[in-house]
Amino acid sequence: MDDRLLLVHAHPDDESLTTGGTIARYAAAGVEVTLVTCTLGEEGEIIPPELGQLGADAADQLGGYRAGELQRACAALGVHRHYYLGGIGRWRDSGMAGSASARHPRALVAGAIAEQVEQLRAVLDEVRPQVVVTYDADGGYGHPDHIRAHEITMAATADADPVRRVLYTVVPRTPAGHALAALREYDGLPFTVPDLDELPVVADERAHVAVDVAGHTDARLRALQAHRTQVSVWRDQAGNGACFALSNGMALPNADTEYFELARDVSEDGTGPRAGGAVLAQHPEVATDLFGGIR
């Protein structure tokens, strides 16, 4: 059976920020990687001043621009297939919690979740992935669109064949702390290194799977550079380090490992779902491979 991985993300750039290395690693290994993006990210803050008039408070053309950025990022990562939930432009970026943009008639959070689940289920039925990745119930950091992406994904995959495993992208506390300490050693860093508690970290024990992406960090950086309205990338002159930042100017590491929590795992005989600890006990290879134990 050919391995097929599908990721559900809320906005353009999310795929590169949290799962870029994983996408590049599995795509390079011959896994068919599909990305579903729920919105065009119309409400994003814009970093380059010369592109500021694209914003929702001006020309409101950022979504179309970000679609081009996402296309280039997908090429850098090796994504095989890309879909917008319901088709390009169907759902709009809802903005941060409490934003007036959440009341837009096409805002993702204003839409009927049953319709959105049906739209994702149609993609699942076409692509037939064994492994699906999205966010946890908090959406990683509380963004309403990330939370809705979680809700849609969990509902659409509940009995989708042949989906065997659903995982959440997570940032465990201890590795994040080590990465921030390493960033503080860089000379000439143009970003502010945040305190650990400023990042949306989770308890280490929630990170069931650690995917080694050391050979694919350059691909992730190229993808992040494609998202220039949202992300600034920095490399030191000696080539000893690299990191990136969003519009808040906080440095984030170009890490060698990406982490995932096992959210749902259905055993081969269909008796699941099984808890993450039980899966790891039976299939220790899961600890380093999204497809561990189901190939």
Q: How far apart are CA 189 and CA 148, in angstroms?
A: 35
Mean predicted lDDT score pLDDT of the chain = 94
Domain CATH number, residue 69: 3.40.50.10320
Co-location of 112 and 24 in the same domain: yes
The one-letter code for the residue type at 224 is: L
**Domain annotation covers residue 295:** no
Co-location of 54 and 157 in the same domain: yes
Q: 101-140: per-residue pLDDT in tens?
A: 999 999 999 999 999 999 999 999 999 999 999 999 999 9
Can you say whether the dihedral through the CA atoms of 290, 168, 90, 66 is positive or negative?
A: negative
pLDDT at 276 over 70: no
Co-location of 43 and 88 in the same domain: yes
pLDDT of the residue at 215:
95
Co-location of 128 and 197 in the same domain: no
**Domain annotation covers residue 235:** yes
Q: 77-95: per-residue pLDDT in tens?
A: 999 999 999 999 999 999 9
Co-location of 138 and 275 in the same domain: yes
pLDDT at 1 over 70: no
Q: How far apart are CA 171 and CA 149, in angstroms?
A: 18
pTM (two decimals): 0.96
Co-location of 16 and 146 in the same domain: yes
The boundaries of the domain holding residue 177 are: 173-202+211-253
- What are the structure tokens assigned to 60, written together? 């409101």
- What are the structure tokens assigned to 139, written together? 């959406």
Strand ranges in the chain using DSSP code E only, listed in sequence order: 4-9, 32-37, 81-84, 131-134, 165-170, 209-212, 232-235, 242-245, 251-253, 257-265
How far apart are the two ends of the chain, measured CA to CA in Å?
Answer: 8
pLDDT band at 273 (very low <50, low <70, confident <90, very high): low
CA dist list (Å): 166 to 47, 169, 184: 33, 10, 35
**Domain annotation covers residue 42:** yes
- What are the structure tokens assigned to 24, written together? 């590049």
Number of independent structural domains in the chain? 2
Co-location of 83 and 160 in the same domain: yes
**Domain annotation covers residue 294:** no
Co-location of 31 and 161 in the same domain: yes
Burial of 220 from C-beta contacts in 10 A (0-12 / 13-18 / 19+) = buried
